[in-house]
Chains A and B, each alone.
Chain A
Amino acid sequence: MITAERKPLSEIKAMIAPYRKILVVGCGTCVAECASGGEKEVGLLSSALRMDAKMEGREIETKEITLDRQCVYEFIEQLSGLVNQYDVILSLGCGAGVQAVAEVFPEAYVVPALNTTFIGETKEAGLWVENCRGCGDCKLGYFAAICPITRCAKGLFNGPCGGSKDGKCEVNPDTPCAWQLIITRLDESGRLNLLQAIHPPADWSKREGKGPRKIEREDQKT
């Protein structure tokens, strides 16, 4: 899941300040799960913006709509016929959603209401934790499905640094030591032998330095 957090209201206000008619577009997938851009958050933000405008003696008009997925053109099409009725689109999608909406409606002015943060999991109600860097070279199979790149503060591939205390990371005592977790899980499942392999440094060229990455599959094309 891609996580995000709402921008400060002052920043959102500054972006939409010149406009009166605002189309507030949420996304019902990742950002709904992390309670930043779903239907409820669209309602809350719209209400706050309307009250703020009233208090400043301005009139604004908002229309709220939440797409199932804001990063897929088939769902974005639902905005057809609405976009040209509004001065600005305030997107509560992740960065991919904002850009996809702008791609479909290049004539529209699309602004983000969220700061896209990381790929993570819902640990418990109200707690989301980063667990994937999208490095493009997944090695979870060797590390008991615990990513040392993301979850070890030092991103170590070949064993613990030795600085952990009581199973907690020395860099951030709130965080469990990823290597403690890896070794414990491998040990309990009788796969400690996996640690005998030596892993070379990560190949970051698969992620960095070549501009945006893309995945292309002929079998999925129409």
Chain B
Amino acid sequence: MLEKELGPRIRFFPLPCSGRIEPLHLLSALESGADMVYLVTCPEGVCRYQEGNVRARKRLMYAQKLIEEIGLERERIELVVTTDKDLLTIDGLTRGLILREAIVDPSPVRVKKHKGKYMDSYKGVRK
């Protein structure tokens, strides 16, 4: 429902456990045009599968290091550690993330260089 309401502004990719994430998943999201990629995990210590969220954090850090090497800000991949309360209101969590995203510049991967027109129209949509 939320995806329908917010349209192309956000995509959800449910995982059985955050420990299933691979750095390539995060890079693929950025490559396909995402400005930001959020990995939402349970708090450490409460993983149903022991340490899925610990592994997820380490893989996320690896992906951050890799995108930094190509000149992308590491902040474009962000770990969001939820509380039990957040999990019950994924709707609220998502809306909060989208509001924060508004301060991030469009991804240079998506925004072609020397195409000011595209940039301008994009900014318009964001307002």
Q: Which residues of A contact B (CB under 8 A)?
A: 8-10, 40, 43-44, 47-48, 50-52, 54-57
- What chain B residues lie within 8 Å of A44 (beta carbons)? 23-24, 27, 66
A54 surroundings in chain B (CB, below 8 A): 108-110, 112
**B88 CB-CB contact with A under 8 Å:** no
Measured CB to CB, the residues of B under 8 A from A are 22-24, 27-28, 30-31, 66-67, 69-72, 108-110, 112-114
A142–B70 CA distance with the chains assembled, in angstroms: 50
Contact of A51 among B70, B112, B113 (CB under 8 A): B70
Instruction: Give the shortest distance, in Å, between B76 (CB) and chain A (any CB).
Output: 11
Can you name 7 extra interface pairs (CB under 8 A) apart from A44-B24, A54-B112? A9-B70, A40-B22, A40-B23, A48-B69, A51-B31, A55-B113, A57-B112
CA distance A216 to B112 in the complex (A): 56
Shortest Cβ distance from A54 into B: residue = B109
Contact check, A51 vs B114: say whether CB atoms are below 8 A apart. no
User: Would A40 and B24 count as touching, CB distance under 8 A?
Assistant: yes
Inter-subunit contact A55/B72 (CB<8 Å): yes
Query: In the docked arrangement, what's the CA distance between A47 and B69, Å?
Result: 12
Which residues does chain A contribute within 8 Å of B70, judged by CB atoms?
Answer: 9, 48, 51-52, 55
Chain A residue numbers with a CB within 8 Å of B66 are 9, 44, 48
A44 to B71, CA, bound (A): 15
**Residue ID in chain A nearest B66 by CB atoms:** A48
Complexed CA–CA distance, A10 and B71 (Å)? 11
Q: In angstroms, how far is the closest chain A Cβ from the Cβ of B74?
A: 13
Q: List 17 A-B contacts (CB under 8 A).
A: A8-B69, A9-B70, A10-B69, A40-B22, A40-B23, A44-B66, A48-B66, A48-B69, A50-B31, A51-B30, A51-B67, A51-B70, A52-B70, A54-B108, A54-B112, A55-B72, A57-B112
